[in-house]
Amino acid sequence: MSRDGLRRARRIVVKVGTSLLAPRDGGVHVRRFAELADEIAGLVANGLQVVLVSSGAVGLGVRRLGLTERPASIPAKQAAAAVGQIDLCRRFERAFARHDLLVGQILLTHQGLADRERFLNARQTLHALLASGVVPLINENDSVATEELRVGDNDLLSAMVVNLSGADLLVMLTDTDGLFDGHPNDPGSRRIAEVPQVTRALLEVADSRPADPAAQPGAAVGTGGMRAKLEAARLASRYGVPTVIVDGAHRGAIGRILHGEDTGTHVHASSRQLSSRKHWIASLKPRGSLHLDEGAVRAITERGRSLLPIGIVEVEGQFGRGDPVRCVAGDGEEIARALSAYDAREVELIKGQRTPRIEPLLGYTNGDAVAHRDDLVLL
Ligand code: GLU
């Protein structure tokens, strides 16, 4: 797929990494807020809609609190985010005000988004903001989300926001010009311009490359490295949306993408687009795993069937009814993500059994399928 299609984008999710706004030396890239607002305001003036997913709450909070480094403890980090989120908002609010644009803040948690009703609610809010010409400014609600209920990084969050907002392009602004086949600072390494599909091999290449070339993986200012970006891009692609990961330190980066220029790494949209609801299921954090036998794998992958108890050989995790689970084949590969109609204890009791046995074994039934095909997404 050429980059020409990117010219047609009308609604864009722009994700900005912490390193672009609040670098590790404890400073703030004051001008960058203005530059981003200038560029986004230009797009809005041309009839495009932009949703901004910005990191930087913790980074800015650390600075406001006068700390010398990011705190290690979670409550201290959450406190820093509480302080920094206000600073982040205020800076963007001021920058956009120069263009007579309002920003509207939405703080999301994974737990909130995993609830279908709240997800739909957030979607309506987002659409209402866009309809009023407001620039939505989104971050994870770091101050309240406990570690296991967090989205984890804003890369993934931005891919979820693609679905929430019905965007047709995801732009990730970071501090390298996309993915490289070696270390980005190494003169011998080349930029990978086009990624038709995010493969396992590619994720491994990315694994060893921190998003910030000067930083060690995991020790960087931001939380998501290049792998997180590619995983997010893969999730966006499943929604039929392309992603461009690009160096956001240069002015006009988004405009160049929209002109179809060869910049950054372009992850192509998948030709098989999931519905919004299926995409939502694919984006949920699994709370357990169901290991399937070969017959079940074939039934769901080749024949589009529901997952019945008879095909389940092993159950892992403590999940409740309606929770997302991995469906794993014999080789250990996750082939599908699904919402389980039974909780872990119930599946443990009915696994390997024919459906008429569900009621005698449990004393009730919640339907024949452990995961109905409408609640199951092939990956
Ligand atoms: N939400 C965090 C923040 O604003 C950052 C998460 C991320 O960088 O992925 O500081």
What is the tens place of the pLDDT at every residue in 60-81? 999 999 998 889 998 999 999 9
Going from the Cα of 270 to the center of ligand 1, the distance in angstroms, rounded, reads 27
Going from the Cα of 26 to the center of ligand 1, the distance in angstroms, rounded, reads 15
Instruction: Give the closest residue (by CA) to ligand 1 atom 5.
Output: 55
The identity of residue 150, as a single letter, is R
* Residue-averaged pLDDT of the chain: 91
The pTM assigned to this predicted structure is: 0.89
With the most atoms of ligand 1 within 8 angstroms of its CB, the residue from 140, 143, 151 to mutate is 140
CB of residue 224 inside a 6 A radius of ligand 1: yes
CB of residue 153 inside a 6 A radius of ligand 1: yes
With the most atoms of ligand 1 within 8 angstroms of its CB, the residue from 58, 62, 143 to mutate is 58
CB of residue 158 inside a 6 A radius of ligand 1: no
Beta strands 324-328 and 11-16, pairing class: unpaired
Q: How is 59-126 classified by DSSP, letter by letter?
A: HHHHHHTT-SS--SSHHHHHHHHHHHHHHHHHHHHHHHHTTT--EEEEEE-HHHHHSHHHHHHHHHHH
Going from the Cα of 215 to the center of ligand 1, the distance in angstroms, rounded, reads 16
Going from the Cα of 341 to the center of ligand 1, the distance in angstroms, rounded, reads 33
CB of residue 225 inside a 6 A radius of ligand 1: no
Q: What pLDDT is stored for residue 219 in this prediction?
A: 31
Going from the Cα of 157 to the center of ligand 1, the distance in angstroms, rounded, reads 10
**Ordered strands of the 135-140 beta sheet:** 103-108, 135-140, 49-54, 11-16, 169-174, 243-247, 265-267, 194-195
pLDDT tens per residue across span 149-197 = 677 789 999 999 999 999 999 999 998 899 988 877 788 889 999 999 9
Question: Residue 242 corresponds to which tokens in the numbers above?
Answer: 């392309």
pLDDT-based confidence at 14, cuts 50/70/90? Answer: very high
Outline where DSSP puts E strands in 97-223.
Answer: 103-108, 135-140, 169-174, 194-195
Neighbours of 301 (CB within 10 A): 16
Atom of ligand 1 nearest to the CA of 222: 8
Return the closest-CA partner of residue 195 out of 157, 163, 158, 231. Answer: 231
Question: Residue 204 corresponds to which tokens in the numbers above?
Answer: 């491994």
pLDDT tens per residue across span 105-151 = 999 998 889 899 999 999 999 999 999 999 999 999 999 887 766 77
Q: What pLDDT is stored for residue 322 in this prediction?
A: 93
Q: What pLDDT is stored for residue 187 in this prediction?
A: 83
CB of residue 139 inside a 6 A radius of ligand 1: yes
pLDDT-based confidence at 224, cuts 50/70/90? Answer: low
Separation CA 297–CA 126 (nearest Å) = 38
Atom of ligand 1 nearest to the CA of 228: 9
Mean pLDDT value of segment 263-275: 93
| Percentage above 90 pLDDT, the chain | 77
* Domains in the chain, CATH or no CATH each: 4-277 (3.40.1160.10), 286-378 (2.30.130.10)
pLDDT tens per residue across span 344-364 = 999 999 999 999 999 999 999
